[in-house]
Structure 1
Amino acid sequence: MDPQKQQYYNKYPPAGGPPGQPGQPQPGYQRPPPGASYYSPTGSPAPGQPPYQQSPYSSYNVPQGPPQTSQHQYQPQQYPSGPPQTPGQYTLPQPYTPQQPQQGQYGQPPAPYTQWGPSSQQGPPPSAYSQVPTPYPPPPQQYGGPQVAPQWSQSQYPEPGYGYGVPPTPASPGYDLAQRAFVAPVDTSADVETLRKAMKGMGCDETVLIRVLTSSKYENPWTMAQLVGDYNKRFIRDLAKDIESETRGGVETALLALIRGPLEQDVRVLIKALDRAGTDEDALMDVLLCRSNADIRAISAEYRRLKGNDLLVDIKDDVDDTLFRLYSMVLSATRAEDAAPVINSDIDHKVTELQRATEGTIGANAVSVAQIFTNSNSAQLNAMSRTYERMYHRSLEEVIEKEFRGDMEDALLYMLENAIDRARFDAKRLERPLYKTPRKDRLLINRVVSLYWNRPRQDAAKSAYQIHSSARTSLRAAFRSVLSGDYEDLMVALIRERK
């Protein structure tokens, strides 16, 4: 028999024997309660019995000896449940409750996870935006030892507008395939027949092409893509090749830009701008500067698909080192999202850095200025412009014009003017190629078609054109006075004006 059981039977012998003998209870015997263990209920051995060894709580993995500490643990007075207990006084663990972090310097911490604990079957609360990593509190330590409270460092809460707590700016229409699921298909059967009839046989009825392709039915890039796809399937032909063979000049360039959609057109503009004959810096700025991070990523991926090369590699071969540094920052897609707030203390700090990098040094630090410009959204750049003039009594535009030359000056002014007044900026972008000698039709078409896919921005540009243009006339009147023929009709239709 087990020695411990023998000790129990010596103290509590079974009934049936003579007193004092096995089988009879001893004098003063009291029957133990049902389910009593072989050990003394008081935790100490019976008189005259050897002490027993308490078995470890294997299910809780209680360590023997004093609790271990490390440099990553809080001091005892910081434990949420009090100081650690001495050896031999471990109690059952309490449910783990994460501590709510204190408010950081740059914004609010995430909401406390009151429904998530080690005993809950519910997972961590989903993040509102999967692109933004959510710092979860560390898991509790093993039961029985001191638990480590969640440690929240300031680095886990980046500045608002630079990656945390700010919704990402959605991609522009036509730049994300997921948008297609939210666009209802349209009936294109009659229109594809009309397009084929207009280009079939001798000659081409360009008026019909303009009327169909600029119809309000195809104002969305995805309905335009459906029209092109349905035409190609219906006639086993390529609509782009048919237009190339049947049209000429500005009409051909504008119609091709229209049916390609905004994303493919941007990439085609980049490919043309970076050819070996010379770099078209205006086209390069139109496509890449002041764009959302989502659009930049889409353009880089589509360029790689169509051209087979990395966009940044091709840019490096065509521009100087300083401008390459600027475009490498742009293509890194680290611009503050449009919803990022304007923080006055941050604006003041950046304005000071801009002054040090321009007027405050001999020879402007172009890389520092480019980094501030490319990492800020339009609202933040506008705030910097106003703050710079308030602090140093001169406009930021004048400083850039004084400290920089050439393509770098043009790129910085492009971003700054777009941030200060985008409608006026767009109006000037339409006026310059229209009245330049010789007229730059391709640049004008690229800018008109890019505005066509963004109607609110186009309407604002048309209103600003009448106010800020040199002739103080409407954009429609400017096209009528400078352009002619089907090209004139197409450009007027692209700004949603009719005869």
Structure 2
Amino acid sequence: MNPPNQQYYGQYPPAGGPPPSQPGQTHPGYQQPPQGAPYYPPGGSPAPGQLPYQQPPHSNYTPQSQHQTSQHQYPPQQYAGGPPQAPGHYPPAQPGQYQPPPGQYQNQPGQYQNQPGQYQNQSYPPQQPSQPPQGQYGHPPTQYGQYPPNVYPAGNANPQAPVSYPTQQYGAPPGAQIAPQWGQQQQQMQGYGYGVPPTPTSPGYDPAQRAFCAPVNTSADVEDLRKAMKGMGCDETALIRILTSPKYDNPWAMAQLVGDYNKRFIRDLAKDVESETRGDFETALLALIRGPLENDVRNLIQALDRAGTDEDALMDVLLCRSNADIRAISAEYRRIKGHDLLIDIKDDVDDTLFRLYSMVLAATRAEDAAPVNAADIDHKVTELQRATEGVIGSNAIAVAQIFTSCNAAQLHALTEAYMRKYHRSLEEVIEKEFRGDMEDALLYMLESALDRARTDARRLEKPLYRTPRKDRLFINRAVSLYWDRNRLDAAKAAYQRHSQSRASLRVAIKAMLSGDYEDLMVALIREKR
């Protein structure tokens, strides 16, 4: 194909006249236009918006034959407005602004093709590509921040109208819908908690919560606390009345009371309580005035420092907690103890249980708002069966990884799906395949997901009726529920509904405890003495 007007390059035959018979021959009457003057095709001036074509000097052009068009050499030309930006591109004509260095521009096949709206003429209309131009990796060449050109969804006849482009997989052709595999991965990511709001920290675990707690007037209570512990003896009734007052239901209100007492008397309320009280009554008061976060950390320190690890305390503090709470507990432990919590756990538990707690402390549990994905649940059910009943010797690490990555709703769905698929209870499978602390930890996570209120009731009843009674465990569980009124009310209702005697928790406490300790625990479950 010849370039546009190549047959008459440098010669201007009159309209309707025959072309010259020999190369380089001019028509009689033809006047040479000045060099650099704009060239207009036959028919008059250019169309609106069309740029004039710069005509090269005709005297230097000597074509050899009609079949060697691609090998023609063109002399340097004058371009106004700057050098050529790309092969076949001519900038706007503004005479006298730019003179390129000497050189030759070789014409390649298809190089000087007309673009829409540029250098059009009547003899050679612009060629429209049959497909959108392809760039690297199959994507159309685009500018940064723009959508691909010439790609319009089916039915959109107006290219100027705003278009919403579908999400495309990397390397897919323009307009291709997202791959099914990637859609499944997005659903799985949502199932693990990505893209959903994080579960907020529990009350008392984030200092930013203090801004939302209205200050209370503690002046009278501070004086009464000091009077109750001053001099000979201690007024335990006054301590119970003040510290369990509804004014201090919020952990940050309790922290204000403690801080005001310490500032008013230049003393430490916790040390005064330790010096004036004894036994389980002292333990319960300290657990209350420390607040939920510090009390959790103190329980962990005591559970790991004593001879023989208290696995019950570890489970109470670390399992079935939100990611935000786990991060707060880890940071507070590091602040108080000076090193990471996982280091102390590794020195006190076996390797399997250490692997479980390392997954918990990684804080990668699905957030509470994460949805239940049916395909993901079915896949995990299959993995659980392969890790337990489907293999000789259960794979505790695989089971722990699944349990610690699911929120309560997902674990509940996992239990139901396992029963439908294998006609066996997942709880029975755990009891059959595991023993000891690993069994207790997995069952606690599973039972809490199925019925949290009933699990809380059982965990209050078990240390209360155990022989010997584990008062510290009962105190910590009761105090943790004290800071969550809704959870405490649900646990009390479940206790009365599922206990063997059908008695309330208050009746059980009064039957098993006595003295000031009894009165304090009744007040902590928000019942009248």
TM-score by length of structure 1 reads 0.76
Question: Cα RMSD between the aligned structures?
Answer: 3.3
Q: Say whether residues 1:42 and 2:52 are aligned partners.
A: yes
**Of residues 60, 70, 78 in structure 2, which corresponds to 1:53?**
78
Helix, strand or coil for the counterpart of 1:222? helix
AA of the residue aligned to 2:282: E
- In the other structure, the counterpart of 1:479 is 509
Q: 1:57 to 1:383 in 2, by over 3 A?
A: farther
Q: 1:490 to 1:82 in 2, by over 3 A?
A: same
Structure-1 separation of matches of 2:174 and 2:80: 27
Structure-1 separation of matches of 2:358 and 2:177: 36
Q: % of aligned pairs identical?
A: 71
Contact 1:388–1:395 (CA under 8 A) maintained in structure 2: yes
Q: 1:178 to 1:38 in 2, by over 3 A?
A: farther
Contact 1:175–1:263 (CA under 8 A) maintained in structure 2: yes
- In the other structure, the counterpart of 1:182 is 212
Structure-2 separation of matches of 1:308 and 1:149: 56
Contact 2:496–2:504 (CA under 8 A) maintained in structure 1: yes
Q: 1:46 to 1:460 in 2, by over 3 A?
A: same
Contact 2:372–2:410 (CA under 8 A) maintained in structure 1: yes
Q: Any stretches of 5+ residues in structure 2 without a counterpart?
A: 1-30, 40-50, 61-75, 89-110, 112-132, 152-158
- In the other structure, the counterpart of 2:429 is 399
What CA deviation, in whole Å up to 9, does each residue of 1:42-61 have, x standing for no partner?
Answer: 22338868873335768xx9
Helix, strand or coil for the counterpart of 1:160? helix
What CA deviation, in whole Å up to 9, does each residue of 1:436-485 have, x standing for no partner?
Answer: 01110000000000000000000000000001112210000000111000
Q: 1:440 to 1:71 in 2, by over 3 A?
A: same
Q: What are the within-5 Å matches in structure 2 for residues 100-499 of structure 1?
A: 100-102=165-167, 154=182, 159-499=189-529
Contact 2:359–2:401 (CA under 8 A) maintained in structure 1: yes
Contact 2:200–2:324 (CA under 8 A) maintained in structure 1: yes
Structure-1 separation of matches of 2:223 and 2:176: 67
AA of the residue aligned to 1:81: P
Q: Any stretches of 5+ residues in structure 1 without a counterpart?
A: 1-28, 30-36, 84-93, 105-136, 138-146
AA of the residue aligned to 1:420: L
Structure-1 separation of matches of 2:57 and 2:135: 43
**Of residues 132, 146, 149 in structure 2, which corresponds to 1:81?**
149
Helix, strand or coil for the counterpart of 2:440? helix
AA of the residue aligned to 2:79: Q
Structure-2 separation of matches of 1:355 and 1:386: 14
TM-score by length of structure 2 reads 0.72
Q: 1:486 to 1:98 in 2, by over 3 A?
A: farther
Structure-1 separation of matches of 2:311 and 2:298: 14
Q: 1:156 to 1:481 in 2, by over 3 A?
A: closer
AA of the residue aligned to 1:198: A
Q: CA deviation at 1:159?
A: 2.2
Q: CA deviation at 1:74?
A: 1.6
Contact 1:98–1:149 (CA under 8 A) maintained in structure 2: no
Structure-2 separation of matches of 1:224 and 1:488: 22
Contact 1:98–1:150 (CA under 8 A) maintained in structure 2: no
Q: CA deviation at 1:219?
A: 0.3
What CA deviation, in whole Å up to 9, does each residue of 1:111-151 have, x standing for no partner?
Answer: xxxxxxxxxxxxxxxxxxxxxxxxxx9xxxxxxxxx99999
Structure-2 separation of matches of 1:150 and 1:315: 51
